A and B are shown apart, each in its own frame.
Chain A
Amino acid sequence: MTASTSGLFSERVPEQISQRNSKTSELSSVLTVLAVALTFLIWTIWSYWLFQYPMKIGHDDALFFARGIEHFSVVEISPHFPGYPGFIALASVLSIFTTPESAVVLTSLISAVILPWLLALLFMELSGKDYTPVAVLFLISFIILQPLLAGMALSGLTDLTGLAFFIASLIGCYKKRNLLAGLMLGMMLACRPSFFPLAIGLLIALPLITDRQHLLTTYGKGLLGVILVAVPCLLFVLAKDGFAYFEEGLRFTQGHFQIWGNTVSSSLPNWQQWLNTLVTAFSWPFIAVTLLSLTVGLIQCSSRFITLIIVVYLGWILLAQNPDNLRHFAPVLLLWLSVLTFQLQQLIVIFKTILSLVIATVYLSLFTSQISFAVLDAPAQQATDWFKEHSQSPEKDFNRRVLGTNYAVSTLREELPDWQIYDMYYPSSELVLRQQQGYRLSGTKQTDLQLIAEFPGRFTGEKKLYLYQYAKPVSRMTGRSIDTP
């Protein structure tokens, strides 16, 4: 009996274990399918939402890129120095199907929708084979829920395209496809040369994932890849502008250092201004979590490579980038999210689930509070439309079509050819506006002018613009308004 019972037992136990394993495996498969489906669903909804926005230009740089598609000449600021030949090439391909203006916005938009998957691939490389689809779901959710990406997607600027190529380069490094990694790095520099500190970070961190005996070959192949992109780009630029290109480079460089580059209004050190900007956009706990996570990332062997690149770039922006432009922080934020997900994955199930949900909820609240879901144009474009609409009205004020602005000067000149658009960079413009009771488009609140309209920013980092009108000048003698000719 005992024997038989024991025999029965000994037969039953493996059966139960097998059944339990089978159930666990089934549950795991269901969870995997659910996670994958949910990931695609979230990404599709997000992409669909972004594609609902008008493909219009709201930034002068984007206008210069669109001009570069039609006629490339850096000397003619078409586009501006250093020319961004990689980005122009990609946008030119898309311009086969649409206008150059839309092609530029479409290029940044496509880069944005590809980016979450590239970061997911990077996360998978970072994790080895030890990752779950639920972790990928959380990573994609973190990425698309943070409020910075949407605005950059519709900017028509080069940040996200450059970043997409950089992430592709990192994946190439992990896979030991060094020539490919070099080509991608070259494309990053051809699309967004100002990401060169990321390239420097990669050069510094590369020994962390490369055997010492293969290090020279790795650098060599990578350099070859960069050269294979750089040489055609340089030849292209020289073919269009000749050595006048270098002359424009000098003017541009001089301008940045001595004229228009020095516009940071605060007297605080750059890093402190960045801190204020980040606290306003993301809050103190976010800063604390990021710093803690980056410190752990540097300590941990497996994530040290990416974390070191992030830290090098973070140091660069804190020292030398303009805190007015939150988009400069995007490479740090997006790369860090893969590191954060990797770190969360290493916690025990209960902790990682709770923490992931908390982070997703925080991002969701940031996303909903900082993004206007109304499908609007960029603020400068809203202003353009406002003028076009109101120019038709018989109001006396519009007989004088005089407008001064610091924002999108070239875009407004192109869109409103009947208007006299003054560049407020020149102090004399202010005098003309005062004399002619002109309009003033400003990113800051003015207390001494009459507010006419407001054009809200759609996303974090997109500045709200205010439209003012100057009052008639008052005679010192009579105290009455003077009618100017």
Chain B
Amino acid sequence: MRKIYLIAAMLLSLSLNTQAYTYSAAGKEPLIDGREALIQAANSNDFVAASKAYQKVEEEVLYFKQEYGIDLDTPMRNALKAKDASKVTKVLNKIYVAEINRRLTGAEKNINDYQVAKVLVVKSKLFLDLLTPQMSAEQREQANEGIQGALKAVGNPGVFGVGAAPADPDTMKQSHTKLMQALKIFQ
């Protein structure tokens, strides 16, 4: 029954076209929703609301500390304590870089599982799209080349082998490195 609802919802969505929209908007991503709430609150000088917004994404940020040893929680708390809106944005950018890195690392590890690898790379691009406007044209180009390379490296499953393209772990690694180099400006 749930499947039927889902199919009906998908069909409905085909026709709900709007003008002022972005298909590439991330969808339900706590870090993206949280970023917006945090930046808005911090720039309105409402650091109570900013702290509340941070609490909603805290778990995601602590995950980096626990799994990768990257502590972004302390800098964010310090920025909130200092009521420094521009620092809040800077730490958020770092969180996004860590998120992109995490997903691309996952894609590298799961390179032989097309479904998982592709979704991880595509999701990392959603975060990248929010950082690229802040980059220079050259950095942006390098980042785009990196993400496109990663997408290509995932390969293609084909149907019953027809149109299949094998995954390329080396290209994936190189593309990942290239992208992370372009994102160094946020570190």
Does the CB pair B23–A257 fall under 8 Å? no
Q: How far is the CB of B32 from chain A (nearest CB, A)?
A: 8
With a CB–CB cut-off of 8 A, which chain A residues contact B159?
235, 238-239
Does the CB pair B25–A320 fall under 8 Å? no
Does the CB pair A242–B17 fall under 8 Å? no
Q: Is B114 an interface residue (CB 8 A)?
A: yes
Does the CB pair B17–A325 fall under 8 Å? yes
Contact of B19 among A421, A428, A443 (CB under 8 A): A443
> Considering only CB atoms and an 8 Å cut-off, how many residues of chain A contact the other chain?
68
Does the CB pair B13–A257 fall under 8 Å? yes
Contact of B14 among A194, A263, A322 (CB under 8 A): A194
Would you list which residues of chain A between 215 and 265 have a CB under 8 Å from chain B?
A: 235, 238-244, 247-264
Contact of A261 among B13, B43, B158 (CB under 8 A): B13
With a CB–CB cut-off of 8 A, which chain B residues contact A75?
118-119, 122
**Most chain A CB neighbours (cut-off 10 Å) among B16, B25, B129, B163:** B16
With a CB–CB cut-off of 8 A, which chain B residues contact A409?
22
Does the CB pair B115–A260 fall under 8 Å? no
Does the CB pair A64–B18 fall under 8 Å? no
Contact of B15 among A81, A197, A418 (CB under 8 A): A197
Contact of B24 among A77, A320, A463 (CB under 8 A): A77
23 residue pairs of the A-B complex, CB under 8 angstroms, read: A81-B23, A193-B11, A194-B14, A196-B14, A238-B157, A239-B157, A240-B156, A242-B156, A252-B23, A253-B9, A255-B25, A256-B13, A261-B18, A316-B15, A328-B17, A406-B20, A406-B21, A417-B140, A428-B35, A431-B40, A432-B133, A443-B19, A463-B19
Does the CB pair A427–B36 fall under 8 Å? yes
**Range, interface on chain B:** 35 or more
Does the CB pair B24–A410 fall under 8 Å? yes
Q: Is A80 an interface residue (CB 8 A)?
A: yes
Q: Is B151 an interface residue (CB 8 A)?
A: yes
Does the CB pair A76–B151 fall under 8 Å? yes
Does the CB pair B163–A258 fall under 8 Å? no
Q: Is A272 an interface residue (CB 8 A)?
A: no
The total number of A-B Cβ pairs within 8 Å is 153
Q: Mark A389-432, 1 if CB is under 8 A from B, else 0.
A: 00000000000001000110110000001101111111111011
The docked-state distance in angstroms from the alpha carbon of A241 to that of B165 is 11
Q: Is A82 an interface residue (CB 8 A)?
A: yes
Q: Is A324 an interface residue (CB 8 A)?
A: yes
Q: Is A60 an interface residue (CB 8 A)?
A: yes
Does the CB pair A321–B15 fall under 8 Å? yes
Would you list which residues of chain B between 20 and 77 have a CB under 8 Å from chain A?
A: 20-25, 27-28, 35-36, 39-40, 43
Which residues from chain B sit less than 8 Å from chain A, CB to CB? 6, 9-25, 27-28, 35-36, 39-40, 43, 114-115, 118-119, 122, 125, 129-130, 133-135, 137, 140-141, 151, 156-159, 162-163
Chain B residue at minimal CB-CB distance from A409: B22
Given contacts A261-B13, A328-B17, A422-B133, contact A431 B43 (CB under 8 A): yes
With a CB–CB cut-off of 8 A, which chain B residues contact A263?
18-21
Which residues from chain A sit less than 8 Å from chain B, CB to CB? 60-61, 64, 73, 75-77, 80-82, 193-194, 196-197, 235, 238-244, 247-264, 316, 320-322, 324-325, 328, 402, 406-407, 409-410, 417-418, 420-429, 431-432, 443, 463
**Most chain A CB neighbours (cut-off 10 Å) among B12, B118, B129:** B118
Does the CB pair B22–A260 fall under 8 Å? yes
Q: How far is the CB of B44 from chain A (nearest CB, A)?
A: 9
Chain A residue at minimal CB-CB distance from B33: A259
Additional pairs, 18, CB under 8 Å, beyond known A260-B18, A423-B25: A61-B23, A75-B122, A81-B23, A82-B10, A241-B118, A253-B13, A255-B27, A257-B13, A261-B18, A324-B19, A325-B19, A406-B20, A407-B19, A417-B141, A420-B135, A426-B130, A428-B36, A428-B40
